[in-house]
Structure 1
Amino acid sequence: MDYEVIIIGAGSMGMAAGYYLARQGKSVLLIDSYNPPHVEGSHHGETRIIRHAYGEGESYVEMALRAQELWHELQEQSDEKIFIPTGVVNVGKPDSTFIQNVISSAKNYSLNIEQLTADEINQRWTGFQVPEGYIGCYEVDSGVLMSENGIRAFRKQAEAHGAVLKVNAPVTSISIFENSVKVGIAEESFTAESLIMTPGAGTRRLLPLINLELPLQEERNTFSWFDTDESIYNSTSFPAFSFELPTETYYGFPSIDQAGVKIGRHDGGIPRDMSQPLEEFGAYEQDERDVSRYAERCMPSVGPHKVGKACTYTMTPDEDFIIDKHPDHDHVVIACGFSGHGFKFSSVIGEILSQLVTENRETELDISPFSIKRFLN
């Protein structure tokens, strides 16, 4: 064998998995179509929120807490700034499923949150104008991940422990044998005992090569930065946030390193044709319109729109992840469909993936909600 493990897709999850395997002394090859960190994955745009009292469901809480531990560990090993403890305030109607999930998971896992009325939010952080009838759940111990820094740190550590990285190398073939795999790129091919697939937005292109079909849909989404009054919105005093309105969901960040407030719309993505280049910010009227209207309504002290970027979500029908072994091959593991809320978990998912291809091929964390079988006939 050339390697013990080949990882296809060296972005958020794949790079983390490569590090955890290499740290164990495993021989690892990471293959990526680009050169991470890059703008074609789900990690660009500088920042991501990490939340613990998870509005998308309690099945994520244990992973979120372990992910936080691992981000702290990476921070200690790196000279990159990776985690900023801004806190996170989740805002919505008291009876919304999202807010009820936050409250329930905080109670069941004894998480450090404060429940606030709209007036209390507006008084504590004058940059908000939360409408009457909404409440907020402030997660004191959550905050902001510097996503591209995180990828760089995982890459540096993985390579320092001996992992090999092939960049700008789209995969052209995959052959799965009883106890091994063979992966082709351009004029080269490599063999390994196990395969991890974390190809992000490139997943659907590669699924036929491993005889799988999954109901994934790529979506184009956008996020923006706004000119900012630093005395109001600086990251030392203003939290990251998620904000659920009746028909729209937004998220955002305080001004970090004077970059300005960053706001994105989480829902309302446009289906993307992956055979075409990602359309740049401004290709659609709603790119700037939606976030600007949200800012005018709920954060009126934010200044003019400054710049925006486009990104790709890879969605599953239920918006929950897929993290599982191939149904026919125990030595092939796939993680995909992170539906726009996966980056915060990439540290722990990398750890999980490394466990699924070593020793007893099991992980202590419960990943049954993310079974691939829910989408197979």
Structure 2
Amino acid sequence: MIYDVAIIGAGSMGMAAGYYLAKNGKTVALIDSNNPPHSNGSHHGETRIIRHAYGEGDSYVPLALRSQELWYELEQASNRKLFHQTGVLNIGSKESIFLQNVIQSVEKYKLSAEILTAQEINKRWPGYHLPDSLIGCFETNSGVLMSEEAIIAYRDLAIKHGANLYTNSQVQHLNVTNDLTTIELADQHIEAKQLIITAGKGTNQILSLLGYELPLQPVRKTFSWFEAKEEIYHSHTFPAWSYDNAIEIYYGFPSIDGAGIKIGRHDGGYPVQTKETLKAFGTYPEDKQDVTQFIHQYMSADLKHKQGKVCTYTNTPDGNFIIDRLPNYQNVITACGFSGHGFKFSSGVGELLSQMVIHGKSSLDIGYFSLDRF
């Protein structure tokens, strides 16, 4: 059998693309070195924030809004609870470029949001204890995605629409011509007319088989949960949030299903090699110390650390995504370098990738994700 499309890397972006392609009648092979959802990529840890007013630049907003629509559609199609509309509070100093970009996004796209002083934030959500030097922009329609549940939903629906999933399968060799891609696995080979590479931290390992290397740096990251009073920090009453003071960046979640508050530090981290096993949580003192110091300073000193986990960011030099065709390989598309802020867009990116395969172009302008900027 010759597939219409093979996808190497069936995590968030790849699994979503597989679903939208299969739903549109394409024959799809989804190939992954693990068995998604799993803990070796960037989608585990239960939850991810989706923000619409985007501090990383307002060019992301149309994709964020389309992604939100698709998350609602996926909830209906899968009959799973994937989104909690907690709102998202973006916190920063008045001089913060991040917060200025958030406010600019709100104004440009007429998003539902309000600007709050620290005193107003502390009064509305007693779980915060912010100093007067900070302000916030509260997005009412944003919230929290259940990341692993979303992967399962896409996986089940992709298979329902006829996609074939090859798990725990290592790619040994690639042969790409203008008409056909042959993917050699350990015990079989797969042929397809077009190829999508969405392999996360393993992207350069796959691209090396075609003689390519992109400016990607996998980084070890951590996140933690803290015990919390449900009446204060439950998702029904407390928002998801981000914090950027131009020096350090944190993000966090309310307690969902009794899990406790979740918090992580977005900046920093330790570079890792593609095949390197991530060092366990607690290997470095800052794994726990950074988030504990932050949460005690800006929330409550009574919050006690519960558990921590590790994950991976795959960073580009400018922190923006790569979604493009490979030069000299017009039937090969790569989507990578999501730099720790990509999951919320995976529904939209999956749709864009399916459009690039089916129509030769995407419905949204993604020129700012092109390879030629490097």
Tell me the equivalent position of 1:118.
Answer: 118
- Secondary structure of 2:281's match? coil
Deviates more, 1:283-292 or 1:174-183: 174-183
Query: Does the CA contact (< 8 Å) of 1:127 and 1:302 recur in 2?
Result: no
Residue type at the aligned position of 1:357: V
Query: Does the CA contact (< 8 Å) of 2:88 and 2:241 recur in 1?
Result: yes
Q: Which aligned segments of 4 or more residues in structure 1 are displaced greater than 2 angstroms?
A: 273-276
Query: Does the CA contact (< 8 Å) of 2:296 and 2:303 recur in 1?
Result: no
Deviates more, 1:205-214 or 1:99-108: 205-214
- Residues in 1 aligned to 2:54 and 2:20: alpha-carbon distance in whole angstroms: 25
- Residues in 2 aligned to 1:268 and 1:167: alpha-carbon distance in whole angstroms: 32
Tell me the equivalent position of 1:208.
Answer: 208
Q: CA separation of 1:302/1:98 partners in 2, compared to 1, >3 Å: closer, same or farther? A: farther
- Residues in 2 aligned to 1:204 and 1:330: alpha-carbon distance in whole angstroms: 18
- Residues in 1 aligned to 2:352 and 2:276: alpha-carbon distance in whole angstroms: 33
- Residues in 2 aligned to 1:139 and 1:328: alpha-carbon distance in whole angstroms: 43
Residue correspondence of structure 1 range 300-315 to structure 2 within 5 A: 300=300, 303-315=303-315
2:252 equivalent to 1:252: yes
Deviates more, 1:142-151 or 1:328-337: 328-337
Residue type at the aligned position of 2:278: L
Query: Does the CA contact (< 8 Å) of 2:96 and 2:246 recur in 1?
Result: no
Q: CA deviation at 1:215?
A: 1.1
Q: CA deviation at 1:302?
A: 5.3
- Secondary structure of 1:195's match? strand
Deviations 1:148-181 (A, max 9, x none): 0000000010000000000000111111101221
TM-score by length of 2: 0.98
- Secondary structure of 2:213's match? coil
Q: CA deviation at 1:187?
A: 2.1
Deviations 1:287-335 (A, max 9, x none): 0000000011101165210000000000000000000111112111000
Tell me the equivalent position of 1:278.
Answer: 278
Query: Does the CA contact (< 8 Å) of 1:122 and 1:129 recur in 2?
Result: yes
- Residues in 2 aligned to 1:328 and 1:139: alpha-carbon distance in whole angstroms: 43
Deviations 1:118-148 (A, max 9, x none): 1110100000111211110000000000000
Tell me the equivalent position of 2:195.
Answer: 195
Q: CA deviation at 1:228?
A: 0.5
Q: CA deviation at 1:250?
A: 0.4
- Secondary structure of 2:172's match? strand
- Residues in 2 aligned to 1:38 and 1:197: alpha-carbon distance in whole angstroms: 18
Q: CA deviation at 1:247?
A: 2.0
Residue type at the aligned position of 1:217: Q
Residue type at the aligned position of 2:371: I
Aligned length: 374
2:140 equivalent to 1:140: yes
- Residues in 1 aligned to 2:184 and 2:76: alpha-carbon distance in whole angstroms: 36
2:63 equivalent to 1:63: yes
Residue correspondence of structure 1 range 95-114 to structure 2 within 5 A: 95-114=95-114
Query: Does the CA contact (< 8 Å) of 1:6 and 1:28 recur in 2?
Result: yes
Give the share of equivalent positions with the same residue, in percent.
56
Residue type at the aligned position of 1:241: W
- Secondary structure of 1:190's match? strand
Tell me the equivalent position of 2:170.
Answer: 170
Q: CA deviation at 1:100?
A: 0.6
Q: CA deviation at 1:276?
A: 2.4
- Residues in 2 aligned to 1:198 and 1:210: alpha-carbon distance in whole angstroms: 15
Residue type at the aligned position of 2:373: R
- Secondary structure of 2:66's match? helix
Q: CA deviation at 1:246?
A: 4.5
- Residues in 2 aligned to 1:268 and 1:192: alpha-carbon distance in whole angstroms: 39
2:225 equivalent to 1:225: yes
- Residues in 1 aligned to 2:242 and 2:112: alpha-carbon distance in whole angstroms: 17
- Secondary structure of 2:183's match? strand
Q: CA deviation at 1:275?
A: 3.2
Residue type at the aligned position of 2:251: Y
- Residues in 2 aligned to 1:239 and 1:85: alpha-carbon distance in whole angstroms: 9
- Residues in 2 aligned to 1:278 and 1:204: alpha-carbon distance in whole angstroms: 18
Query: Does the CA contact (< 8 Å) of 1:295 and 1:302 recur in 2?
Result: no
Residue type at the aligned position of 1:139: E
Residue type at the aligned position of 2:139: E
Listed as ranges, the gaps of 5+ residues in structure 2 are none
Tell me the equivalent position of 1:366.
Answer: 365
Residue type at the aligned position of 1:292: T
- Secondary structure of 2:358's match? coil
Tell me the equivalent position of 1:54.
Answer: 54
Residue type at the aligned position of 1:272: V
- Residues in 2 aligned to 1:302 and 1:262: alpha-carbon distance in whole angstroms: 15
Q: CA deviation at 1:190?
A: 1.1
Q: CA deviation at 1:2?
A: 1.6
Tell me the equivalent position of 2:345.
Answer: 345
Q: CA deviation at 1:59?
A: 1.2
- Residues in 2 aligned to 1:245 and 1:50: alpha-carbon distance in whole angstroms: 20
- Residues in 2 aligned to 1:177 and 1:276: alpha-carbon distance in whole angstroms: 32
Residue correspondence of structure 1 range 23-42 to structure 2 within 5 A: 23-42=23-42
- Residues in 2 aligned to 1:190 and 1:348: alpha-carbon distance in whole angstroms: 27
Q: CA separation of 1:162/1:133 partners in 2, compared to 1, >3 Å: closer, same or farther? A: same
Query: Does the CA contact (< 8 Å) of 1:9 and 1:31 recur in 2?
Result: yes
Listed as ranges, the gaps of 5+ residues in structure 1 are none
Deviations 1:54-109 (A, max 9, x none): 00001100000000000000001113210000000000011211001000011010
2:19 equivalent to 1:14: no
